[in-house]
């Protein structure tokens, strides 16, 4: 199944909180349940969040008992507000909701709105898979045979509707017959690398080595990495990139060692209305994500410690070699190239 899909009037999600220990599917019946799944990170990854939110809005349209357009519209706007507030950083969330709302606004009949809301959400999901495959082709052209690729967080099928962004690039290179080896950052605090990326690479038969995030610098400095691939939650108009916490330090170390650093994103992740990275809200997540860890039977921190847990950081564009999208690769100056790529039909 896809990471996010519509099935029998429900939004079905692979619950990413329990992988790889368990493969569990959530079947959500209300937009509130979808918002909670996004907030609790049962579904995560900017493109997957976008598709889940779009389906959540379709759910609102179809479950609304409003008989007239005005009543239905109120229900839709209420659901959109709840979904939009679930997480602040990934721009795909707002982008997908706007897209469904805009499509609905063109209809006057409530039943027609119920139909197009689902059709548009489904289109967003289908396009995401197609977009990732095209992105994968552009990115794979950069990967030499025998490459070692350092990867942070999870950007695979689980972060998208299917196939993946940065991991989709790696998968495309692998399917093209190139030998690749992936150094998988475990990605504390939520360990999306160890839990999800390692699991996906295992399924795909792509060779990899799991490392603590702290070890990435050692491999970069000692010349053992050919390129760094990551996803992103939002790309600002100037090319600054918000992505999973730890990306910034990795990008700085990559540049310091002359290793190319490429975020891989659908153009829906590029937000031309956000001028720079400083304008991107950085989500602070619960302290338990850092402390709820047991090592050899023992909690990893004394009780009652104060914790800071920013979920994302901003990598200024000067560390970014290029941004791989489904319409090609944007290179500096990003202020020009990103606008051109977004505006390309």
Select 57 or 235, whichever has its Cβ closest to its own copies: 235
Helix (H) or strand (E) holding 133: helix 110-140
Min dist. Cβ of residue 259 to its own copies (A): 12
- Which residues contact residue 151 at a Cβ distance below 8 angstroms, ignoring those fewer than 6 apart? 166, 167, 170, 182, 183, 184, 185, 193, 197, 228, 229, 230
CA 143 – CA 228 distance, rounded (Å):
10
Strands (E), 55-95: none
CA 207 – CA 257 distance, rounded (Å):
24
Select 54 or 241, whichever has its Cβ closest to its own copies: 241
Sheet architecture: strand order including 241-244: 270-271, 234-236, 241-244, 312-315
Q: Where are the alpha helices (DSSP H) in 197-278?
A: 198-204, 216-221, 247-256
> Which residues here bind its own copies, judged by CB under 8 A?
17-18, 20-22, 183, 186-191, 194-195, 198-199, 202, 207-219, 221, 244-246, 248-250, 252-253, 256, 282, 290-302, 304-310, 313-314, 316
Name the token pair of 325.
């999208």
Select 122 or 291, whichever has its Cβ closest to its own copies: 291
String of b and e for 169-184 (b: at least 16 CB within 10 Å)?
A: bbbbbbeeeeebbbbb
Select 18 or 81, whichever has its Cβ closest to its own copies: 18
User: DSSP letter string over 240-259?
Assistant: -EEEETTHHHHHHHHHHTT-
CA 48 – CA 341 distance, rounded (Å):
22
Min dist. Cβ of residue 229 to its own copies (A): 17
Select 96 or 201, whichever has its Cβ closest to its own copies: 201
CA 271 – CA 280 distance, rounded (Å):
10
Select 183 or 323, whichever has its Cβ closest to its own copies: 183
- Which residues contact residue 277 at a Cβ distance below 8 angstroms, ignoring those fewer than 6 apart? 236, 238, 240, 241, 242, 314, 315, 316, 317
Min dist. Cβ of residue 194 to its own copies (A): 4
Indicate which residues carry an active-site annotation. Answer: 233
Name the token pair of 170.
């790696």
Min dist. Cβ of residue 149 to its own copies (A): 14
Min dist. Cβ of residue 254 to its own copies (A): 10
Min dist. Cβ of residue 200 to its own copies (A): 10
Select 198 or 329, whichever has its Cβ closest to its own copies: 198
Name the token pair of 80.
């959109």
Min dist. Cβ of residue 333 to its own copies (A): 21
CA 98 – CA 199 distance, rounded (Å):
33
SS3 of residue 79 by DSSP: helix
């Amino acid at each position: 199944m896809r990471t996010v899909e519509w099935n029998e009037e429900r939004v079905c999600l692979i619950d990413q909180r329990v992988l790889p220990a368990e493969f569990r599917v959530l079947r959500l019946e209300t937009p509130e349940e979808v918002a909670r799944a996004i907030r609790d990170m049962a579904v995560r990854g900017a493109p997957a969040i976008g598709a889940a939110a779009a389906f959540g809005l379709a759910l609102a349209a179809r479950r609304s008992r409003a008989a007239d357009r005005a009543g239905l519209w109120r229900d839709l706007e209420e659901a959109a507000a709840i979904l939009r507030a679930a997480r602040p950083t990934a721009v795909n969330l707002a982008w997908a909701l706007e897209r469904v709302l805009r499509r609905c606004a063109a209809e006057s009949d409530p039943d027609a709105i119920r139909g197009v809301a689902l059709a548009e959400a489904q289109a967003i999901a289908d396009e995401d898979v197609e977009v990732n495959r095209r992105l994968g082709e552009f990115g794979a052209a950069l990967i030499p045979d025998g490459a070692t690729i350092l990867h942070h967080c999870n950007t695979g099928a689980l972060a998208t509707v299917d196939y993946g962004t940065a991991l989709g690039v790696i998968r495309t290179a692998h399917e093209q017959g190139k030998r690749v080896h992936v150094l998988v950052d475990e990605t504390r605090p939520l360990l999306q690398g160890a839990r999800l990326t390692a699991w996906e690479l295992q399924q795909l038969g792509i060779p990899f080595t799991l490392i603590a995030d702290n070890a990435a610098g050692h491999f970069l400095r000692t010349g053992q990495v050919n390129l760094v691939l990551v996803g992103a939650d939002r790309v600002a108009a100037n090319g600054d990139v918000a992505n999973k916490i730890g990306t910034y330090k990795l990008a700085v170390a990559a540049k310091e060692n002359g290793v190319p650093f490429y975020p891989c994103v659908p153009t829906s992740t590029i937000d031309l209305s956000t001028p720079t990275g400083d304008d991107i809200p950085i989500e602070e997540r619960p302290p338990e994500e850092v402390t709820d860890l047991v090592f050899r039977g023992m909690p990893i921190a004394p009780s009652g410690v104060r914790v800071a847990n920013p979920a994302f950081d901003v990598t200024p564009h000067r560390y970014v070699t290029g941004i791989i999208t489904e319409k090609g690769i944007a290179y500096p100056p990003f202020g020009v190239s990103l606008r051109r790529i977004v505006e390309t039909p």
